[in-house]
């Protein structure tokens, strides 16, 4: 399997998704369309697409952002597995014709998320996740609400056994969290979670986040 990853800022990489790919012996290719003239993979060379987070919005009038959605639409038509994190999940829902707008509360830091459906087996009822956003997606009519938080209902969705979108992050490991926080720590200002960059970095990444991430990725590729 060839997994194509769309990365949108230097400090938000695939994290534990790479570990999952190595575990299964899958090939992984990481693209940086924001930095290299909008280079993207073709639908024909994509067996699975991962769309990571970033500081941009799907509502931005930028060619490479629009071209990402063209690729997503092609893969939706082919029923190719897709996993979106934060901006990535928003791109999927925007492609499906749903609204992306401001969240009721800016969430930056660690906060619990709560399972809303039993569609995917063996997922805990409550987990601690890293949040780094102030926009949100609508849940597509054809999808199930997967997770919610105390501040935002629409934290995740699962669709057609092939697509998962999360508004938060399960993929960062300890060093990844440090990289996010030291480079983008100023973004924590104004967050309703009231955590400093130092507090975010010091919080121990739950071991179950990687385990559950693997279950989610297994689910859409089985």
Complete domains list, the chain, with CATH: 2-221 (3.40.50.880)
Specify the pTM: 0.97
Q: How far apart are CA 207 and CA 220, in angstroms?
A: 21
Name the DSSP class of 153. S
Q: DSSP 3-state helix, strand, coil percentages of the chain (rounded to 5)?
A: 30, 25, 40
Going by C-alpha positions, the residue among 81, 102, 97, 124 that lies closest to residue 221 is 81
Q: What is the pLDDT of residue 97?
A: 97
Q: Is 175 helix (H, G, I), strand (E, B) or coil?
A: helix
pLDDT tens per residue across span 25-45: 999 999 999 999 999 999 999
Q: Is 100 helix (H, G, I), strand (E, B) or coil?
A: strand
Mean pLDDT of the chain: 98
Q: What is the pLDDT of residue 39?
A: 98
Q: Is 87 helix (H, G, I), strand (E, B) or coil?
A: helix
Residue 150's contacts (CB-CB under 8 Å, 6 or more residues apart) are 111, 112
Residue 73's contacts (CB-CB under 8 Å, 6 or more residues apart) are 95
Confidence class for position 147, pLDDT limits 50, 70, 90: very high
């Amino acid at each position: 399997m060839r997994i194509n990853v769309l990365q949108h800022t230097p400090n938000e990489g695939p994290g534990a998704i790479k570990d999952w790919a190595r575990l299964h012996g899958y090939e992984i290719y990481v693209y940086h369309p924001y930095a290299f003239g909008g280079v993207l993979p073709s639908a024909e060379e994509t067996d699975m697409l991962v769309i990571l987070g970033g500081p941009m919005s799907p509502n931005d009038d930028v060619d490479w952002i629009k071209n990402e959605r063209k690729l997503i639409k092609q893969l939706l038509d082919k029923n190719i597995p897709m996993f979106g994190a934060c901006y990535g999940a928003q791109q999927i829902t925007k492609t499906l014709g749903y609204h992306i707008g401001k969240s009721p509360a800016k969430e930056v830091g660690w906060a619990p998320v709560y399972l809303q459906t039993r569609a995917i087996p063996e997922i805990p009822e409550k987990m601690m996740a890293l949040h780094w956003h102030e926009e949100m997606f609508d849940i597509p009519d054809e999808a199930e609400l997967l997770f919610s938080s105390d501040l935002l209902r629409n934290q995740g969705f699962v669709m057609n056994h092939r697509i998962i979108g999360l508004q938060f992050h399960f993929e960062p490991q300890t060093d990844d969290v440090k990289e996010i926080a030291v480079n983008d720590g100023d973004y924590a200002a104004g967050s309703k979670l009231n955590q400093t960059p130092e507090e975010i970095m010091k919080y121990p990444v739950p071991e179950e986040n990687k385990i559950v991430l693997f279950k989610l990725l297994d689910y859409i590729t089985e």
